[in-house]
Amino acid sequence: MRALVAGGAGFIGSHLCEFLLDRGIEVLCLDNLVTGSRANVRHLLGRDGFKFLKRDIARLKTIPGSSDVVFNLASPASPRDYLALPLQTLETGATGTRNLLELCRRQRSVFVMASTSEVYGDPTKHPQREDYWGNVNPVGFRSVYDEAKRYAEALTMAYHRTHGLPTRIARIFNTYGPRMKVDDGRVVPNLISQSLAGQPLTIYGSGRQTRSFCYVSDMVEALFRLAGCPDPMPVNLGNPEEFSVLRIARIVRRLTGSKNPFEFRPLPEDDPRRRRPDIARARRLLKWKPRVRLEQGLERTIDWFRAGPA
């Protein structure tokens, strides 16, 4: 088997490349390195069956060889990145996704679209199920990412319905682990990097807003299983254990041995108040559930941050 992983030098993408190689699957990794890093896949460059190409999927024309499955994880994903790259984020979600779908249509490849829990916006239903249509601000600052992913989902379903293309849609909830960028701006890397640097830990709003964090090894296993599932409708992938941001900050502070104070700042615009996936579909269709508990995953992530990127 051969897999193409777009965004393969990013955080989740690099772990997926490694996961596939470990199972004897050849991997073509595409990344324009705007938010990804060659360092994330440096340890894979000498492995049999792995090839890296610096490509922008929004300008993709041809790709050498063919692939049995295409994973689309290419997009700025952290608020800090997509707010700095609004037009590129929209173009990647629209033109980039279309280019990959056309590639799959020509090759009759399975297409796996990495969508996001952001399609639910600031949800009014809790926990979030796949049949919930969301509460999204289409013109807010975060809309460049939210709407890019919502459009990509619609485009994916249109290719499935029009061309009979075998497609999958993964709605990925908050994921964390080694290879997250230190300056990512998201909750876990923020808290860990500040704690290790002896800085105050930034808490936005009251800290009572909740998140459900899935360790990256669980996430890539779910993406792999989803590729083999014939159901084209969206599937939530994440950990249903829900924690307040303040509780997570306290856990990080304890695990790092930090005494740093909390520093409270205003909540960003349209920041979701609660976020927790209903993963009943993933359990039923994929026979999957997360196995890594939060403290265990945070310990591994802290160790990686302490050691620094390879």
Q: Tokens 């039923």 map to which residue?
A: 284
Three-state DSSP state, 230: coil
Q: How does strand 26-31 pair with strand 2-6?
A: parallel
Q: Is 167's pLDDT higher than 90?
A: yes
State how far the Cα of 84 lies from the Cα of 163, in Å rounded to an integer. 35
Report the b/e string of 64-73 with b at 16+ CB within 10 A.
eeebebbbbb
Distance CA 66, CA 97 (A): 17
Q: Where are the domains of the chain?
A: 2-177+214-238+276-291
pLDDT for 310 beyond 60 = no
Q: Which tens digit of pLDDT belongs to each residue from 20-52?
A: 999 999 999 999 999 999 999 999 999 999 999
Q: At residue 184, does pLDDT exceed 90?
A: no
* Count of C-beta atoms within a 10 Å radius of residue 233: 14
For tokens 């159901």, name the residue. Answer: 231
pLDDT for position 188: 96
pTM: 0.96
Mean pLDDT of 299-303: 97
Q: Which residues are catalytic?
A: 145
Q: Which CATH architecture has domain 2-177+214-238+276-291?
A: 3-Layer(aba) Sandwich (3.40)
The answer to whether 57 and 92 have CB atoms below 8 angstroms apart is yes
For 114-157, the pLDDT digits (tens) are 999 999 999 999 999 999 999 999 999 999 999 999 999 999 99
Question: Which pLDDT value is given to residue 21?
Answer: 98
Share of the chain above pLDDT 90, in %: 92
